[in-house]
Amino acid sequence: MKKLTCIIVDDDEIDQLMVVSFVKRFSHLELLGTFLNAVAALDYCQNNTVDILFLDVDMPGLSGLELRKKLDEVPVCIFITSHPEHAVESFELDTLDFIVKPLKFDRFTKTMERINEFMEIKTKALLYESSIGGDSIYIKEGHEQTKIKLHEILYLEALKDYTLLVTNQKRHCVLSSIGNLLKESHFQSFVRVHRSFAVQKNMIEKIGIYEIILNNGFSIPVGRSYKEDLKSIN
């Protein structure tokens, strides 16, 4: 089984040690680090690739929920908390599981089964394979492989764990977050302009304060935190 990297973030050292002891029982988990606050974890994740977040919710400064919002490109998030009232809010943030303390090993084992199943599906679905020519990708649609020319993709749209690849003819759905897609060499010609959108640079006709107009007339919203990235296009 492929190694999965993870970190643990909990301001309670005893609870943190409990999670560490459970993680170490699974040989395919690689524990990269433990953190007593979310800020330190955020700094670490900005320079390292992490597959799984084991997060407490209620922590001083930055909460676990706020940390997940900032690390939405991490495939799996598991909340382990004493506050069950946060469950509904957590599942709006692409949470795979929500565990209420005190943590028991049998409950953690069920969580690991969910993680393994999710990662297996993610791997099998795996979206696309590069073509020899370099300007095309192949994506799975049902039992068929569909060839898409990269230069025909207008923009990418995030849809939870999926991303839509939008052309003038069709919208194709692949099982990958928009953040992970943009890390691929195939998508270097795209720029992130919003939490939910990335556009092909040469498709941009006009850049406004609140929106981008593509050369086919489509309008794409611009997020405040992404405006700086657009300056490199001008």
* The pLDDT of residue 131: 38
* The pLDDT of residue 133: 43
Name the token pair of 117.
Answer: 């199943």
User: How many Å from the N-terminal Cα to the C-terminal Cα in the chain?
Assistant: 46
* The pLDDT of residue 201: 87
Out of 2-6, 11-15, 88-92, 203-207, which region has the weakest mean confidence (pLDDT)?
Answer: 88-92
What mean pLDDT do residues 135-143 have?
74
Name the token pair of 136.
Answer: 């095309």
* The pLDDT of residue 127: 42
- Picking from 55, 138, 142, 153, the residue whose alpha carbon sits closest to that of residue 98 is 55
Per-residue pLDDT tens over the stretch 145-174:
788 888 889 999 998 778 999 998 888 888
What mean pLDDT do residues 190-208 have?
89
At 200, give phi and psi (nearest 5°). -75, 125
Ordered by start, the domain boundaries in the chain are 4-124, 128-230
| Calpha distance 8→37 (Å, rounded) | 10
Is the pLDDT score of 53 beyond 90? yes
* The pLDDT of residue 134: 58
Q: pLDDT band at residue 129, thresholds of 50, 70 and 90?
A: very low
What would the 3-class secondary structure string for 144-170 be?
A: EEEEEEHHHCCEEEEECCEEEEECCCC
18: Cβ contacts below 8 Å, ≥ 6 apart: 103
At 125, give phi and psi (nearest 5°). -70, -10
> So what CATH class is 128-230?
mainly beta
Is the pLDDT score of 128 beyond 50? no
When the candidates are 3.90.480.20, 3.40.630.190, 1.10.3720.10, 3.40.50.2300, the CATH number that belongs to 4-124 is 3.40.50.2300
Is the pLDDT score of 59 beyond 70? yes
Task: Identify whether 60 is preceded by a cis peptide bond (ω within 30 of 0).
Answer: no
